[in-house]
Amino acid sequence: MIKVNLKSGATFKDRWLNPYIHISNSPDFMEIEKKIRAIEKDMGIRMEDGVRIDYIKMDRNILATNLFYLTTIAIIAYMYFRNPKNRNVFNAFGDISKAKFTLVNPFSGKGVRFKDVAGLQEAKVEVMEFVDYLKNPERYKKLGAKVPKGALLLGPPGCGKTLLAKAVATESNVPFLSMNGSEFIEVVGGLGAARVRNLFAEARKRAPSIIYIDEIDAIGKKRSESFAQTANSESDRTLNQLLVEMDGMTTAQDIIILASTNRPDVLDKALLRRGRFDRHIVIDLPTLEERIQIFEYHLHSLALEGKPMQYATYLAHLTPGFSGAEIANVCNEAALHAASEAKVKVYNDDLMYSIDKVLGGTVKKSSTLTPSEKKVVVYHEAGHALAAWLLEHVNPLIKVTVVPRTNKRLGFAQYSDTNLKLQSSEHLFERMCVLLGGRVAENIIFNKISSRAQTDLKKVTEIAYHQVQQFGMSPSIGLISFDKELTSTKTKKPYSKKLAGLMDAEVRRIITEAYKRTEKLLLDNKDKLITLAETLLKQETLTYKDIEALIGPPPFGKKDLTKLEEFNANLE
């Protein structure tokens, strides 16, 4: 077979690289074939037995591309072996796959200890079991017990998950490798999985050891259910590698994995199963007793005018729903305020200032409200306060203020908590009445409404839908419960359009009934509403004691504020 290379200007190098017949790219190549066929005819060779001639056309860019790659490789190799200093550049590509963990020195004697973690009693007991196993493994192995492979710390932000992990690092006396979930993921594909492998390899070298992954939801999100969803392919690969390392064919020995997140609903089910995270430790917002402990711990570092325990109990009643981080911020803001006013000690008014600042922000001195707008805000907040004062099943009112704040809050009412874990339909209904009190007061006094109640209406709508769709508190809808995700607009509804219409109608009925109940309550006590609002307009802030002096004690008793009054009297 003869291949004819149709390439013009064939050089010696061309003939060496492609040993075919090289001819000029012109019509003369047809004459070559005629001569070959004539010779074959003279020699008696039949046409079908003749020499096969194929015509091929060379691409000019093929040789140039190959030469470019060969040249690049040669230059890199020359630089690598010519100067040893350049090898650090190439080693950096290997170092990028290493896990960027923080190694806590187990024998430094410094850091946070369990005694420094106020509250969280149940969580500390569970976590201390891991520490005890690492210190005394033989005691458990004799009984055939196996240490849990991992513990997942769940809870809202600022409740002490990371602080508890720091205490474990100090108390365990074993190597503690800490890493954030976002540090695994990079743009380079496969890098997250490589860092997971490297992290566990480093932990095995130091076994027994503890691995802590903060904000694990960054790599532990639910994997995509179809191959078409490739946006999170890197996260999926990283999660798959983490699952294998935690409980795969070769399980890690003497390695405990701690992780924390405030978004457990987005985590993959394979990550949450027993055998990987055997313990799910919920760290919720602190209760009244836990808030007392947290305040007492932080107040010990302040130069107080009085005993920390006295202030701790008082402040704990004033801060329902505060997290541990917010309580620490309250104490710090009080000290900063006292220092800014050149005080020698921190007083009660500094602590009250700090609570208001954490709740609503810094006081906005340059208020842009007109007198008419100010009056609307005053009556709106007075409507909230009066409804809470007169109703039975709502949290006790502590204070109402209309001082403008920097976070766009023109005023707010502060309530104490009742430490109720379960709420009846009466509690939820009267809570809706309190939220609607501002809108009702505006309508009664001014015969018109404003946009002030937007946030209140959102909360009222949410409570009403929860009663109908999740709590089964609607007689007309029945005992049904749908998860919040199933009722969102992003998913297909698990119920018919007819049932959806019935639920919407029931929600409107509940809200309308709450509005009418609140309207009747405030109309019957219109004189108290006006007295409360006009005094609030002058003083801007009214405490429980001030409100009681204006309109009398609440009709259903002082609830749990008796102790609060006692502490307030002692401070005065």
Domains 102-223+234-282 and 371-571 share a fold: no
pLDDT for 413-449, tens place per residue?
888 776 667 788 899 999 999 999 999 999 999 998 8
What pLDDT is attached to residue 23?
47
Topology of the domain covering 371-571: Methane Monooxygenase Hydroxylase; Chain G, domain 1 (1.20.58)
Show the tokens assigned to 59.
């691409």
Q: How far apart (Å, rounded) are the C-alpha atoms in residues 58 and 236?
A: 45
Rounded distance between C-alpha atoms, residue 38 and residue 61, angstroms: 37
What pTM did the predictor assign? Answer: 0.71
What is the pLDDT, as a whole number, of residue 467? 92
**DSSP letters along 279-316, please?**
EEEE--S--HHHHHHHHHHHHTTS-BSS-HHHHHHHHH
In the numeric block, the tokens 């749908």 are attached to 482
Q: Which two tokens stand for residue 196?
A: 């997971």
Taking Cα atoms as reference points, which of 362, 361, 334 lies closest to residue 346? 334
Asked whether 111 and 176 are in contact (CB, 8 A), the reply is no
Report pLDDT for 268.
85
CA distance 549 to 553: 8
- Integer Cα distance of 86 and 367 in angstroms: 63
**Sheet of strand 412-415: strand arrangement:** 412-415, 397-401, 541-543
User: Which is catalytic among the residues 171, 183, 333, 381?
Assistant: 381
Question: What is the full DSSP assignment across 232-269?
Answer: THHHHHHHHHHHHHHHSSSPPSSEEEEEEES-GGGB-H
> What architecture does CATH give domain 102-223+234-282?
3-Layer(aba) Sandwich (3.40)
381 is catalytic: yes
What fold is seen in the domain 301-360?
Helicase, Ruva Protein; domain 3 (1.10.8)
Give the three-state DSSP class for 363: strand
Q: Are 112 and 186 in contact (CB under 8 A)?
A: no
**Residue whose C-alpha is closest to residue 177's, from 106, 237, 92:** 106
What is the separation, in whole angstroms, between the first and last Cα of the chain? 112
pLDDT at 24 (0 to 100): 45
Residues 6+ apart with CB under 8 A from 328: 294, 298
Would you say 331 and 299 are in contact if contact means Cβ atoms under 8 Å apart?
yes
Helix (H) or strand (E) holding 40: helix 29-42
Length of the chain: 572
Residue 317 exposed, middle or buried by CB count within 10 Å (0-12, 13-18, 19+) = buried
Instruction: Give the C-alpha distances (Å, rounded to integers) separating 291 from 197, 320, 324, 337.
Output: 41, 9, 8, 22
Q: Determine the pLDDT at residue 420.
A: 67
Give tens-digit pLDDT for 320-373. 888 888 899 999 999 999 998 888 888 888 888 888 888 877 877 776 778 888
Q: Which residue has the tokens 């004697």?
A: 109
Cross-strand bridge partners of residue 56: 5
Domain ranges, ordered by start, for the chain:
2-55, 102-223+234-282, 301-360, 371-571
In the prediction, which pLDDT does 15 show?
41
Averaged pLDDT, groups of 10, the chain, 572 residues long: 47 43 52 76 74 61 65 68 54 56 63 78 80 80 80 86 82 82 70 83 83 86 60 74 77 78 86 84 85 88 81 84 88 91 88 85 75 89 92 86 78 76 87 94 91 89 92 90 74 83 94 95 93 91 88 77 51 47
Give the Cα separation of 99 and 104 in Å (integer): 15
Contacts of 422 (CB under 8 A, 6+ apart): none
Write the secondary structure of 85-137 as one string of H (helix), E (strand) and C (coil).
HHHHHHHHHHHCCCCCCEEECCCCCCCCCHHHCCCCHHHHHHHHHHHHHHHCH
pLDDT reported for residue 397: 86
Give the residue among 211, 208, 223, 148 at the shortest CA–CA distance from 183.
Answer: 211
CA distances from 265 to 88, 155, 214, 465, 567 (A): 43, 11, 16, 20, 41
pLDDT confidence of residue 131: 78
